Structure 1
Amino acid sequence: MGDPVSSIRNLGPASVAQFARAGIHDAETLRALGADAAYTRLIAAGTRPHFIGYYALVMGLQGRPWNDCQGAEKAALRERFDAIRAAATRTPAGDLPPDLVVFLRDHGLAPRDG
């Protein structure tokens, strides 16, 4: 095993635990995946998406403090984050059990595709 995830700037104990739940146990793996793929794994493993956590990860992988993100760079990261979150949390109705789809529709909560 290589360097711990916590060796990356901005990533403390809470982040380490989240990455471990997502199967990412060292800094080398995290760097190889990159921010977008790693954050997608976090969401898939149950971490609630949060923009500050995402851009702190991006900044950390660049060796920068989390609060260094501003202006146009922050706006561009927000677009990336929103796309990651939308893709990671989308569940096509065809992937749900039929009885759950019926229940959701009966209660005005019909799942949306795409």
Structure 2
Amino acid sequence: MTGAPVSSLRNLGPAMDATCARAGIHSAEELREIGADAAYARLLATGTKPHFIGYYVLHMALQGRPWNDCKGEEKKALRARFDALKAASTQDGTGRIEQALNEIGTGLRR
């Protein structure tokens, strides 16, 4: 896929390019199209450790806002959404794919 790299978005750097690529997100345009919540769910599913700051930085990046612009009620609302995404994608710190592999005995954790 061609297009501007994910790191072309404000607040996001080369590490996010690699993290998004592992989740099948290869451009800033694709990230915008998917949206922050769906993209973060994909990051979690591919092994990214949940981190609230990373989640809201992604939201701010897609809005073109400084990462530290998230405050007050907006931050509280994002925290609730983050907690829901985290709960939906993990039970023991692994992603759903890892959980399924572990259940059938072919995963990394046995």
Shorter-normalised TM-score: what interval?
Answer: 0.7 to 0.9
**Unmatched segments (≥5 aa) in structure 1:** 99-103, 105-114
How far 1:15 moved relative to its partner?
Answer: 1.1
How far 1:48 moved relative to its partner?
Answer: 0.4
CA distance in 2, matches of 1:30, 1:97: 32
**Unmatched segments (≥5 aa) in structure 2:** none
How far 1:97 moved relative to its partner?
Answer: 2.8
CA distance in 2, matches of 1:28, 1:59: 15
CA distance in 2, matches of 1:49, 1:17: 16
Equivalenced residue count is 98
CA distance in 1, matches of 2:56, 2:12: 11
* Paired residue secondary structure (1:47): coil
Paired letter, 2:77: A
Aligned positions of 1:12-91 closer than 5 A? 12-90=13-91
CA distance in 2, matches of 1:79, 1:34: 17
Scaled by the length of structure 1, the TM-score of the pair is: 0.79
CA distance in 2, matches of 1:17, 1:4: 10
Runs of 4+ residues deviating >4 angstroms: none
CA distance in 2, matches of 1:33, 1:88: 17
CA distance in 1, matches of 2:32, 2:51: 20
CA distance in 2, matches of 1:3, 1:15: 13
Q: Which of the pair has more CA radius of gyration? A: 1
CA distance in 1, matches of 2:25, 2:75: 25
* Paired residue secondary structure (2:10): coil
Root-mean-square deviation (CA), in Å?
A: 2.0
